[in-house]
Amino acid sequence: MDSNGFEPCFCACSLARTAESPAGKHGQAVTHAHISETVLERAAQLAGDMARARHWYFNCPLPEFGGQTAEAAVANGREADVLDLLDMYEAGPLG
């Protein structure tokens, strides 16, 4: 774990897991990922860059959310809770 609470996680998932189908109902691509730019930007501030933030967001299981990723937590309406978690990471263990 680094000083901002980001622990490297190793998994077989793709870093950019924003799968798109060829076309949606009206011809536009359909994005299946639940992306919160607010969470990603906040995570990038802590992680040091957007690539690490995206990896954390899409791939790392979070014990605080029953092993869900940040993406899954956001999809389940818990964006504010994920932002609170990032605040806890920043504050550190003695926060």
For 31, the enclosing helix (H) or strand (E) is strand 30-31
Q: pLDDT, tens digit, for every residue of 18-48?
A: 333 334 444 444 444 678 999 999 999 999 9
Q: pLDDT, tens digit, for every residue of 51-92?
A: 999 999 999 999 999 999 999 999 999 999 999 999 999 998
Q: What span, in angstroms and rounded, lies between the C-alpha atoms of 30 and 88?
A: 33
Q: What span, in angstroms and rounded, lies between the C-alpha atoms of 51 and 36?
A: 15
DSSP H stretches of helix in 1-95: 37-47, 50-59, 70-75, 79-91
| N-term to C-term CA, the chain | 16
Q: What span, in angstroms and rounded, lies between the C-alpha atoms of 72 and 42?
A: 17
